[in-house]
Amino acid sequence: MQTKGRSRHFIYTDWILIETQFDPEQLHSKETVFTIGNGYLGTRGSFEEGYPHGLPATFIHGVYDDVPVVYTELVNCPDWLPLVVIVNGDRFRLDQGEILRYERQLDLRHGLLSRALRWRSPSGNIIDISFERFASLADPHVLALRCNVTPVDFDALIELQASINGYPENQGFNHWEELDQGKTNQEIWLQRRTRNSRIELGMAAKVTILGTKASLQVNTAPGYPTLSTTFLAKAQQTVTVEKLVTVFTSREIETPVPAAQEKLTHLPDYATLLKAHKQAWDEVWQQSDILIEGDSTATFAVRYNLFQLLIAASRDDDKVSIPAKTLSGFGYRGHIFWDTEIFMQPLFLFTQPAIARNLLSYRWHTLNGARRKAVHYGYKGAMFAWESADTGDEVTPRWSIGSDFYGEDVRIWCRDREIHINADIPYAVWNYWQATGDDDWMQKCGAETILDAAIFWGSRVEFNSEQDRYEIRGVIGADEYHEFVHNNAFTNRMAQWHLEKAIVVYDWLANKFPERAKELEQKLKLTPEERSHWQDIIAKILFFYDPSTELIEQCEGFFQLEDINLANYEPRDRSMQPILGIDKTNKSQVLKQPDVLMLLYLMRESADFPYNEKALQTNWDYYAPRTDITYGSSLGPAVQAILASDLGKSTEAYEQFMRALMVDLEDNRGNTNDGIHGASAGGIWQAVIFGFGGIQITENGPVANPHLPPGWTRLKFKLHWRGKWHDFDLHQGQVAQDITRQLESLQLSLSPDPPNSHSQASEHQTSPPASPASPAPSSSPLPPPHNPNIQGFIFDLDGVLTDTAELHYLGWQKLADEEGIPFNREANEALRGVSRRASLMLILRDRPYSEAQIEEMMERKNRYYVELLQKMTPEDLLPGAIALLDELRQAGIKIGIGSGSKNARPVLERLGIMDKVDAIADGYSVQEPKPAPDLFLYAAKQLGIEPEQSVVVEDAAAGVEAALAAGMWAVGLGPVERVGAAHVVLPSLAGIKWADLREQLSNIYR
């Protein structure tokens, strides 16, 4: 389904963003929106041919350099995109000539950016030009670009120039020193080094021309090495140029230029790189996708926000983190805030836990910077920077220089006073440990992070002897409109929570890893007195709230500030601070973003004080109307959406959710040009999962209590918790659900030999009578299900509905031939119903191969298989398949597919039977393959029927075993020696009628 985006010339499909018109006024914000990346780098969506005043940028994680006033910033790296097209002397550019047709697409599923145009040159010639680019997710050091050029109505002399631009700027400042550049074997390369941080970069590029004969020339103009070619193209002749680029820095390898040259020399072609890239994205989405049905805008926009976070997170480097504006823009100079731990981290924690660990390891690696900050301010322990870069030292600018030449510079106090980040980071560390049980990382990195940050609080609090209470004075809370307050509720409670958990971690470490505990005691100067001090602070820290109403005072004296009715200032197009002025805003009860409500949200999961339903309702009623949610902070709407959902305010929850969801796609704050709102994107994930999905984490894992927005008919996602995946498929009006645990309990209840009852089950077990069609052996492991009331059929694909088994065989045979391994059809029989890896292991036997080689061979075989799939048609359905499917549908029987293949959907589409299928369980649906029953149980769940009402049709022993383990009827296709454990064994589906099958199953039941 397609929906139109508001005023941005956008169309949204489930996976693709389509821009239908070029608007120069939105140039910079669209460059942000069309950012691509791979976790190592991000490239803004600027045009290959360039555009006046464009802001092209490629940011590489960890490549920072010093700059006046703002300390340090993420460096704009050499531009790999430049590709100039000159047609009969006219250079293609969108600010000249006439755009006759324009379309730009961002394919989220495969991380692919493309653009197609029809352009009339100033000379009147019409030409079709298309571009496609990707940053490889399969190999982060590889970038690829392809351009097709077709003269429409004339013969053309075309010149192409593919370059590396060695003069990138950070809005007027060039961080790079020229070192060297050159050419080798029709390849160009560039060597640069940052001026102060001395990070070296090597970039290499090569070009391939397809569709005509053309020779390449090399031009090594200083700082702009270029590969160019000139050729004649006739009308309607398409010529393709493919540009491959490799990039390394001295952060990951000592000699970046040779590394880039070496990799470039051995790269396969564009098409092969693209296939590997798409496969890598398929695997990422398998874990992180969210499916929404009933709201086409949300379907796409949620995926878009997830995509922007997934391309900004490093998969390999644990010394970097995600900047507030990701790797998509110049905003905040690439600095890292609490945004990462509190807003972005949960997505990775529950879908990509290895990345979550990397993000937290960055904080551990930069502890020395936090310690230096603490010393500077006269405190102990680690005092985390409000804005952090590569070392962990504070890099928040001291002053903000306004655009008004005569205006006053504004002092930025966050660096000195916004200290709640010192508890926010340990909060994320604790949650990672709870969700993963990763004791090894915790004892190595997490414990030190929590304990050293806790030492800071011990030195930062002040004791008020008159009140016998501890205070934290002179701070900025989560609400940044109030810049010098005492005893901010968010800060004080988070510090208290932090110290509570620090004691737990201290005791755990001493008990389980005593040597590491002693090491940290010496390193951090941890003493029994310090621990006692923590306990005293926990017991006596100030927190202003009314126990009778549970209304929390945001900070000392907040209720005495002037009350402001925000409705009196509507309509407006900016935040309240510039309207009221800094001084008046400080003295008013107006909030930039949730503060007390943010505290309640963070305490919500564990139901820690002060969170409870009454407190949430009371504080919502007071603080929500006073929060500048429209133009204050972009961090607020998603949080308020979750809490509004908790309170049953579905209309308001959805309104705030959409405000967060479209912040960049609709540029509703007018600052998307600075980069993606990363915290808002992370908040979107939390709003969907914890808000609308109602996920609560219990001792046994996540459980859903869904309250979907009106119109949402389905919400499907999966969560990783304690080493296991939990699947959720939620619908309107649905009660609490966790499919994974339901499957487990279902298996247990259906098992003929449940735990603790083996002897009793064995006493009463009997073998089923022989099938009239083909007698099954009397050693069938399970009795028939208790009820012959069949409501659904679940068909395997391979060897049942179509002979994809033949395609698998051909794929394996090609691979075996290439590797010189004996393989034939007889050997292939052993692979029926076996996973790809297990099949490869059977083929390889005891031949020595590395894990990398095994992964490559699995990918190669799958590539061959997918290529063969493209040739399938409905004629490839096996005899009897269509007739039986049609008869079952006429009889009101539901039909599901239960195939372990990750290619099940494209197979069904090629066969033309998608409209005959009610549910699909494929290789993406469950973790455990056949002979585990999970796949068939999942299919039955999707069909809405009980296992005993299901018939599985299988051609593999593992599939029959899985059906029986699920407590389902099993029909086996093939020889008795392979599928004889089934209740009914048939040679094929040819001539099989539902009435005959039903009679056979009834006879078995009787």
Q: CA-based angle 469:472:475, to the nearest 5? A: 155
| Residues 101/231, Cβ–Cβ less than 8 Å | no
DSSP string covering 566-621, please? GGGG-S-SS-HHHHH-HHHHHTBS-BSS-SHHHHHHHHHTTT-TT-SHHHHHHHHH
Question: What distance in Å separates the CA atoms of residue 415 and residue 388, rounded to the nearest whole number?
Answer: 10
Question: What distance in Å separates the CA atoms of residue 142 and residue 263, rounded to the nearest whole number?
Answer: 8
967: left (phi over 0), alpha (psi -120 to 50) or beta: left
| Residues 969/983, Cβ–Cβ less than 8 Å | yes
Question: What distance in Å separates the CA atoms of residue 600 and residue 19, rounded to the nearest whole number?
Answer: 40
In the beta sheet, which residues pair with residue 203?
190, 247
* Angstrom distances, CA of residue 551 to CA of 374, 446, 494, 613: 34, 34, 17, 12
Question: What distance in Å separates the CA atoms of residue 479 and residue 558, rounded to the nearest whole number?
Answer: 12
| Residues 177/193, Cβ–Cβ less than 8 Å | yes
Q: State both tokens at 840.
A: 């490869």
480 annotated active-site: yes
302-307, Cβ contacts within 8 angstroms, sequence gap of 24 or more: 302/661, 302/684, 302/685, 302/688, 303/14, 303/15, 303/108, 304/17, 304/106, 304/108, 304/665, 305/661, 305/664, 305/680, 305/681, 305/684, 305/685, 306/347, 306/681, 306/684, 306/685, 307/108, 307/111
Which is it for the CA torsion 623, 629, 633, 638, positive or negative? positive
In degrees and rounded to multiples of 5, residue 520 shows phi and psi of: -75, -35
Q: Distance between alpha carbon 477 and the CA centroid of its chain, in Å? A: 29
DSSP string covering 119-163, please? EE-TTS-EEEEEEEEEE-SSSTTEEEEEEEEEESSS-EEEEEEEE
Q: Distance between alpha carbon 172 and the CA centroid of its chain, in Å? A: 33
Question: What distance in Å separates the CA atoms of residue 18 and residue 12, rounded to the nearest whole number?
Answer: 6
Question: What distance in Å separates the CA atoms of residue 672 and residue 676, rounded to the nearest whole number?
Answer: 6
Question: What distance in Å separates the CA atoms of residue 919 and residue 431, rounded to the nearest whole number?
Answer: 36
Classify residue 742 by burial, with Cβ atoms within 10 Å: 0-12, 13-18, 19+: middle
Classify residue 762 by burial, with Cβ atoms within 10 Å: 0-12, 13-18, 19+: exposed
Helix 296-310 × helix 678-686 angle, to 10°: 120
In degrees and rounded to multiples of 5, residue 220 shows phi and psi of: -110, 55
State the maximum Cα–Cα separation within the chain, in Å, rounded to a whole number. 96
- Asked, as a colleague might, if the bond just before 68 is cis with ω within 30 of 0, I would say no
Q: Distance between alpha carbon 290 and the CA centroid of its chain, in Å? A: 10
963: left (phi over 0), alpha (psi -120 to 50) or beta: alpha
Q: State both tokens at 332.
A: 């905040």
Q: State both tokens at 234.
A: 């006739």
Rg of the chain on CA atoms, in Å: 31
Q: Which residue out of 19, 200, 387, 480 is catalytically annotated?
A: 480
**Within 13 Å, how many C-alpha atoms sit on residue 816's CB side?**
20
Residue type at 633 in one-letter notation = S
Which residue numbers are catalytic? Answer: 480
